Amino acid sequence: MAICVLCHQRKGKRFCPAVYNVICPTCCGTHRLKKLNCPSSCPYLRQAKAIEMAQRESEWARRNLERAEIEQRLTAFALEEAISTFASEHPDLTDAEVITALQAVQDAVEREVMSGINHEPNAEGRAKELALKILKNAQTMRRRIGIPHNVLLARVARLLSQKAMLLSQRNRDGKGYLRALLVDIKPNSLEQLLDRLSAPQTRS
């Protein structure tokens, strides 16, 4: 087999259209589009481009996934702050009412996504009151920092109602979720968070 015309060391396994001679894979990879003026038709260039682009796209997707996770956490905070605040005003509130409210929020938002028309949460009494408060918090956050969009809002309402059901089942008194929530999320703390998030970046 011929020797690579670039390094004169390794076997020239690839026909290089740029030098119009055989080169080795190492020189091909090292000098591609740098020292070598590779034509787009070169199959080795095409293959390398395809691999590189796929890597870059997956890096980009990973970055976006991180952003999606942050948005989801902020949205969950907005919803749970509404519940925490409401619970501090109604000490006899139960997990069941919270679950009903979250499910009503999810349902209303999903209907809005499907139809483009605003829907009232379908619940009664205190659960409805809480559902409206949750929606109001989501709207406040959206106005201030641009999230959540409705698809995310519906998703987070669903995840939180599942979380509440799980934590509620672990306790006989039907307040396992609310107890854990009040430890994690201070009532009336949304404004403080939004102020911090929307403050202009200052150097001190």
Interface residues toward Zn ion, by CB under 5 A: 4, 6-7, 10, 24, 27
Least distance from C-beta 41 to Zn ion, angstroms?
A: 21
Cα R_g (the chain), whole angstroms:
28
Q: Which is nearer to Zn ion, 6 or 101 (CB)?
A: 6
- Decide: 128 and 154 in contact? Cβ < 8 Å: no
Distance, CA of 39 to CA of 22 (rounded, Å): 15
Single-letter amino acid, residue 39: P
Q: State the CB neighbour count (10 A cutoff) for residue 107.
A: 18
Distance, CA of 198 to CA of 62 (rounded, Å): 25
Q: Which is nearer to Zn ion, 10 or 179 (CB)?
A: 10
Angle made by CA atoms 167, 153, 84, in degrees to the nearest 5: 45
Least distance from C-beta 199 to Zn ion, angstroms?
A: 56
Q: Which is nearer to Zn ion, 9 or 192 (CB)?
A: 9
Least distance from C-beta 47 to Zn ion, angstroms?
A: 18
Least distance from C-beta 24 to Zn ion, angstroms?
A: 3
Q: Which is nearer to Zn ion, 23 or 101 (CB)?
A: 23
Distance, CA of 22 to CA of 11 (rounded, Å): 9
Least distance from C-beta 30 to Zn ion, angstroms?
A: 8
156: Cβ–Cβ under 8 A, 6 or more apart, which residues? Answer: 72, 75, 76, 79, 148
Q: Which is nearer to Zn ion, 14 or 155 (CB)?
A: 14
Distance, CA of 5 to CA of 7 (rounded, Å): 6
Q: Which is nearer to Zn ion, 29 or 43 (CB)?
A: 29
Distance, CA of 82 to CA of 192 (rounded, Å): 14
